[in-house]
Amino acid sequence: MDRVTQSCMVYTDEAPEGVSDAVKTALKPFEVKWSVHPEHPTFGGHGGWPGCLVSNEDWPKVFAALKDEANFEYLVDHTAVDYPDRKPERFTVLGLAQNLETQERLMVRTRVAEGGAVPTLTHLWMSADWAERETFDMFGIRFAGHPELTRIYMPQDFDGWPLRRDFPMQGHNRFRD
Amino acid sequence: MVGPCVVTSRCRATTGSGTKGAAMSDHETIVAKPPLPTGENPEFADIRLDAGDDPGERMVLNMGPQHPSTHGVLRILLEIDGERVVTAVPDVGYLHRGKEKIGESLGYHRYIPYTDRLDYLAPLANNCSATWAFEKVCGIQAPERAEAIRTIGCELARISAHLLGLGAYAMDVGAMTVFLYTFSERETLYNFFEYLTGARFTTTYTRIGGVSRDAEEGWLKDVRAFAETLHAKADTWENLLTNNRIWRIRNEGVAVITREMALSYGLTGPVLRASGVPYDVRKDRPYGFYDRVDFEVPVGRHGDCYDRYLVRMAEIRQSARIVTQVIDQMPDGPILADEPKFVLPDKQGVMTGMEQLIHQFMLITGEMDTPKGEVHSHTELPKGEGGYIIRSEGGAAPWRLKYRAPSFVNLQILKDIIPGNMIADIVAILGSIDFVMGECDK
């Protein structure tokens, strides 16, 4: 496996095309960096949605602003990406939210180090409950304020975080190791 | 564009007002959100239920993971007071096979067979969903004819999945006959799948950049004839259920999901549309052939189990409409894109030519360099909106592959809608949510 020390995403200060004014207004109070796809500059429509990078503290506030001011009432998906060799923040947490009337979507990202915690979104969407439990189960990322952050897929006594890049594909062999 | 149509049964307003009214007023209390299980919440403790102040009156019951009406390995912990459920905690993960990890290890081409085993009631739709996502990663487009065949496959898979959901739902609630009717149609559909893909169940039909085999004219003619007779057959099934007195008493007013609840829980598919939200990816962000066909999005009004049944029934008819229209507009041409950097050569060539054999070997063993970037591709699967978030760092395998499983998201609402109902209602609720654990547990 090649070592990837940086994510391929490139961030700028200027909002890309396709981000509506309502979203720009809602995100004005926050420090937001917008992503561009390095090799796919024309990704849009169904292929890839505009995205941005925010700080850990702003993570729930950005979603609250999107939900209240820009009418993004549907949390489509929630996950994380692992870059074991990226310093200091190893993980990127992703949340995709959607406005059901205009069909606009925004991918919000935040970065967190191993052992760090990201504020929860469960007060905004009930669907964030299991979504964050899944991300916790697979990556070991903690979500501060989550009512019941336990494993959801793996057994409660499972050792390790399966979807981290450095977790062995065939799992831990307890007879060999 | 045609607006959403509201499904209603013909005599809904005139029958059973007494039963219905009583049931509906009960719902004011039923839909009230129960508190989340409290306690110490140690991170690795098993799920525990709070017995409350009066533990002597209540008991904890495990429904599943082997209960036949849980359609797989879903476990629900119930805290019951007599016949009435006080707390319900769904527990998933008994079928977790690590599909995402497998995808990150094997790469794009070799992941497609694994998608058959996600929603194993609609494998063709899953194949297509994965391939659409992977084509976006590669930045290529499948030819028109391949897109048309995929669209037919998706809709036949939807019909097949809804028929199983409907038959199993009716059987769980006590109507055995419907299952026999719907399964004889599923047999026809499986024959179609077998003829098109070579397999009845695990189809593995699509390829990046197209499909593996062409659809023959005779097959298209047979499918079109089947789609046309489906409306009359749907009438038969509706005659068995829609105005069946027992069916309506068991389903009307049970487990009402309001619009706000549905959106907060991120529900999609027929479960969301039964609550009155006309959200359908096929309509709102068309892909494949869906922008060239005319169909309606059935929407419910009340959000109860009965509306979810009506929406599914209406969707079967709409799927038949889509299939007929796509076959009428069927374009000619190749079924694989001419993109040798990403697309496998056709099987005939691989079996007879050295160059093609080497080419196939290289692509399958990982000599493929995809562009870097992040792709979001979501499609309308039979259970709801499903699809992929893929982060590519080059190479033949995704750096991160995330599958949004509609069944997983839809199941979470059980802890809100089961409490307050009787134990016997749970089978109706599970049938109306219509989930597949293979997809939920990934």
Q: Report d(CA B60, CA B423) in Å as an integer.
A: 12
Tens of pLDDT along B403-414?
A: 999 999 999 999
Instruction: Enumerate the domain spans of chain B.
Output: 99-440
Of B68 and B144, more confident: B144
Instruction: Flag if B412 and A9 touch (Cβ within 8 Å).
Output: no
Tens of pLDDT along B362-396?
A: 888 888 888 888 888 889 999 999 989 998 888 88
| B131 neighbors B385 (Cβ within 8 angstroms) | no
**Residue B14 pLDDT greater than 70, yes or no:** no
**Residue B23 pLDDT greater than 60, yes or no:** no
Q: What is the mean pLDDT of chain B?
A: 83
B403 burial via Cβ count (<10 Å: 0-12, 13-18, 19+): buried
Q: Report d(CA B200, CA A23) in Å as an integer.
A: 47
Q: Would you call B139 an interface residue with chain A, using a CB distance cutoff of 8 Å? A: yes
One of 3.90.960.10, 3.40.50.1360, 3.30.460.80, 3.30.70.660 is the CATH number of A10-117, namely: 3.30.460.80
**Residue B26 pLDDT greater than 60, yes or no:** no
List CB contacts (< 8 A) between B265 and chain A: 125-127
Confidence band for A131, pLDDT divided at 50, 70 and 90:
very high
What is the model's pLDDT at position B13?
35
List CB contacts (< 8 A) between A82 and chain B: 400
| DSSP 8-class letter at A53 | E
Tens of pLDDT along A1-49?
A: 557 777 777 777 777 777 888 888 888 888 888 887 655 544 443 346 7
What is the model's pLDDT at position B6?
52
Q: Report d(CA B111, CA A37) in Å as an integer.
A: 24
What is the model's pLDDT at position B53?
56
| Helix/strand/coil for A13 | coil
**Residue B32 pLDDT greater than 80, yes or no:** no
**Residue A128 pLDDT greater than 50, yes or no:** yes
Q: Tokens standing for B248?
A: 């309506």
Of A137-146, B7-16, B219-228, which range is least confident? B7-16
Q: Tokens standing for B240?
A: 């068995």
Instruction: Flag if B92 and A153 touch (Cβ within 8 Å).
Output: yes
**Residue B47 pLDDT greater than 80, yes or no:** no
Of A5 and A113, more confident: A113
What is the model's pLDDT at position B316?
92
Which residues touch B387 (CB under 8 Å, ≥6 apart)?
Answer: B129, B133, B376, B377, B378, B379, B403, B404
Confidence band for B22, pLDDT divided at 50, 70 and 90:
very low
Kindly state the average pLDDT of the residues B133-160.
90
Length of chain B: 442
What is the model's pLDDT at position B319?
93
B307 burial via Cβ count (<10 Å: 0-12, 13-18, 19+): buried
Give percent of chain B with pLDDT exceeding 90. Answer: 29
**Residue B44 pLDDT greater than 70, yes or no:** no
Chain B closest-CA separation from residue A37 CA (Å): 6
Give percent of chain B with pLDDT exceeding 70. Answer: 87
What is the value of ipTM here, to two decimals? 0.87
Chain B closest-CA separation from residue A47 CA (Å): 6
For helices B176-197 and B217-241, give the axis angle rounded to 10 degrees.
170
Instruction: Enumerate the domain spans of chain A.
Output: 10-117
Tens of pLDDT along B179-191?
A: 899 989 899 999 9
Tens of pLDDT along A78-103?
A: 999 999 888 888 899 999 999 888 88
Confidence band for B238, pLDDT divided at 50, 70 and 90:
confident
Q: Would you call B377 an interface residue with chain A, using a CB distance cutoff of 8 Å? A: yes
List CB contacts (< 8 A) between B401 and chain A: none
**Residue B56 pLDDT greater than 60, yes or no:** no
Q: Tokens standing for B296?
A: 């309606």
Q: Tokens standing for B332?
A: 């000619």
Kindly state the average pLDDT of the residues B137-156.
90
Confidence band for B140, pLDDT divided at 50, 70 and 90:
confident
Query: Looking at domain B99-440, what is its CATH homologous superfamily?
Result: Cytochrome-c3 Hydrogenase, chain B (1.10.645.10)
List CB contacts (< 8 A) between B409 and chain A: 127, 130-131
